[in-house]
Amino acid sequence: MGRDDETVEPTATLRHMTPRTPDELSRIAYLGPRGTFCQMALIAWAGDRSLEQAPQASVPAVLGALRAGEADAAMVPIENSVEGGVSATLDALASGDPLVIIGEVLVPITFVLCARGGMPLSSVRAVGTHSHAWAQVRGWMAEHLPEAAYVPTLSTAGAAEGLGGDAVYDAAVCAPVAAANVGLTVLAHDIGDMKTAVTRFALVTRPGILPEPTGADKTTVVLYQKTDRAGGLLDLLEQFAVRGVNLTRLESRPTGEAMGSYCFSIDFEGHLRDARVGETLMGLKRVCADVRYLGSYPRADGVVTDAREGTRDLDFADANAWLEGLRA
């Protein structure tokens, strides 16, 4: 891993370069500060690569830096096994200049309760953390600190950092590494209510990079319905079903236009270059008001897509050759 900058200073070179492969990425924005689960995802993805890390204060700021060319990729949380889709990320990807996901990372979520040295658990009166984290430790808190007030913060790592300053709370819920970064004392380990909690992070770039198909890929899209069609979602799902494409995530998100006006944020198995995916996307494009393509990328879990008979590339090629023969 390379430098770990707290400030974002875009280099002129990066602004104008268009990376064509994941290996050409060099400056990655992420949801900071240091010590967030998001930074863990970035470190896991980087492996031996030398990368410049650029922490940002919010998801919109992370994607804003990417869109502005101040970073050539961005790591953002996209789905949480306890809290669900991360609205801020889904919405920021669904509007504004196009961006595409080129990779994903799964990070197990482990929370600690920490405080400045000398503070016993019994003295904790107020706890600071991000609202998503608070939701995941609610059971532990109800049992061990039923009287403690909750103070929302912008991130879990930010909650830890605040304890070093003038925080209005006296303990923080954060990742172990965040507590260590600030030199805090851990009052309780592994306090998440759901021991198997995991957050999925997406590595996002400007359009121009399309990872090669691996056979274990996912694709992400946002679908906007035509308002004049009843039973719309059923119609959209049949576009997938009839071509044997399986969904792995579906979130409805309001379009903001009116109560009850929704778009659908969807992950599905397969790669943009797979024949069944291409035909599905074209089918969706025809029946939707709009389809926003958000990238095809290798699955973090490596599960190979089990395309059913009749939906593999070879089946599409055979059917196409047959049709061409009839039309000749």
Contacts of the segment 140-145: beta carbons below 8 A, 24+ positions apart = 140/188, 140/191, 140/192, 140/193, 141/191, 144/188, 145/121
**Least Cβ distance, residue 20 to its own copies (angstroms):** 12
Task: Tell me: does residue 170 bind its own copies (CB under 8 A).
Answer: no
Query: What is the rounded distance in angstroms from the CA atom of residue 13 to the CA atom of residue 10?
Result: 8
37 binds its own copies (CB under 8 A): no
Select from 24, 138, 183, 304 the one that contacts its own copies (CB under 8 A).
138
Choice between 51 and 101, CB closer to its own copies: 101
Residue pair 182/124 in contact (Cβ under 8 Å)? The answer is no
- Stretches 47-55, 65-73, 130-138, 172-180: which one binds its own copies (CB under 8 A)? 130-138
Q: Give the list of residues 6+ apart from residue 320 with CB closer than 8 angstroms, or none.
A: none
286 touches its own copies by CB under 8 A: yes
- Minimum distance from CB of 88 to its own copies (Å)? 7
In a 13 Å sphere around the CA of 182, the CA atoms on its Cβ side amount to 29
What is the distance between the alpha carbons of residues 175 and 34, in angstroms, rounded to a whole number? 11
* Interacting residues with its own copies between 188 and 227 (CB under 8 A): 194, 196-198, 200, 210
**Which residue, 72 or 79, has its beta carbon nearer to its own copies?**
79
According to the binding rule CB under 8 A, does residue 249 interact with its own copies?
yes
Kind of pairing between the strands at 73-80 and 198-205 = antiparallel
Assess 44 for contact with its own copies (CB under 8 A).
Answer: no
Least distance to its own copies, CB of residue 144, Å: 16
DSSP-assigned letters across all residues of 79-142: EETTTEE-HHHHHHHHSSS--EEEEEEEEE---EEEESTT--GGG--EEEE-HHHHHHSHHHHH
Residues in region 50-89 near its own copies by CB under 8 A: 57-58, 60, 79-85, 87-88
Rounded to the nearest 10 degrees, the angle between the axes of helix 87-94 and helix 59-67 is: 30
The yes or no reply on residue 261 touching its own copies (CB under 8 A) is yes
When the beta carbons of 52 and 134 are compared against its own copies, the nearer one is 134
With respect to its own copies, which residue has the nearer C-beta, 24 or 301? 301
> Least distance (Å) from its own copies to the CB of residue 198?
5
For residue 51, the minimal CB distance to its own copies (Å) is 25
Q: Which is nearer to its own copies, 2 or 164 (CB)?
A: 164
- Whether the CB-CB separation of 186 and 192 falls below 8 Å is answered with no
State how far the Cα of 78 lies from the Cα of 68, in Å rounded to an integer. 21
**Region from 25-33, 44-52, 68-76, 131-139 binding its own copies, contact rule CB under 8 A:** 131-139
Q: Residue 185 or residue 248: which is nearer to its own copies going by CB?
A: 248
Per-residue binder mask for its own copies (CB under 8 A), 298-317, x = binder:
------------xx---xx-
Instruction: CB nearer to its own copies: give 4 or 315.
Output: 315
CA distances from 159 to 85, 130, 164, 166 (A): 22, 7, 9, 11
Which of 15, 131, 164, 304 binds its own copies (CB under 8 A)? It is 131
CB of 196 to its own copies, least distance (A): 7
Contact 174, 111 (CB under 8 A): yes
Sign of CA dihedral 172, 132, 259, 224: positive
